[in-house]
Amino acid sequence: MAPIKLHDKTFDSYLSEDTIQTRIRELAAQIDRDYAGKRPLFIGILNGAFMFAADLFKNLTVEAEVSFIKLASYSGTKSTGRVITAIGLDQDLIGRDVIVVEDIVDTGKTLAEFLPQLQHNQPASLRIATLLHKPEATQFDLTLDYVGFAIPNKFVVGYGLDYDGIGRNLREIYQLSENA
């Protein structure tokens, strides 16, 4: 794939659509095994996780429900250090098996602030599925139960991830070019 330009930055191809979809099918199969006979509730974190949540959900065979919440902590290419809840959750979580669906876990601050709120609602279980994880950047102690790809601590766009509002519609994932 040729490099792409978004705003003032150039990005190089990193994960192809086929690679992403293959890994999502593998994660869905693992979740199907882990939740056989149960009906988990998936909570996708908007905006970034919408594509991953949709594709993961389409590949599941267990009975499941999906809902979304909007949390934000990014501006441009940097985390702001603040987590903003823009749209709240309206499902009752008491006694439910809950799987939080994230696009990417880098510092982990968003989840570290959001998970205690979920725990307060007394779910039967609480797990995390993330398409991408940046282990080098993670600063909070989180258990990531389903990880698509561990990636270097470089800025990425595409497949739901944006750079200042654009790039979410790309079918592949691109990383910031070394020459940017």
Q: What angle do CA 46, 17, 158 make, to 5 degrees?
A: 40
* Of 106, 86, 112, 99, residue with least CA distance to 31: 99
162 is catalytic: no
Residue written as tokens 């979740």?
A: 31
Quote the CA–CA distance of 79 and 56 in Å, as a whole number: 26
* Of 166, 172, 173, 168, residue with least CA distance to 9: 166
Q: Find the helix or strand (DSSP H, E) in which 68 lies.
A: strand 65-75
Quote the CA–CA distance of 163 and 77 in Å, as a whole number: 6
* Of 34, 55, 9, 61, residue with least CA distance to 160: 55
**Active-site residue among 106, 141, 145, 162?**
106
Catalytic residue positions, numbered: 106
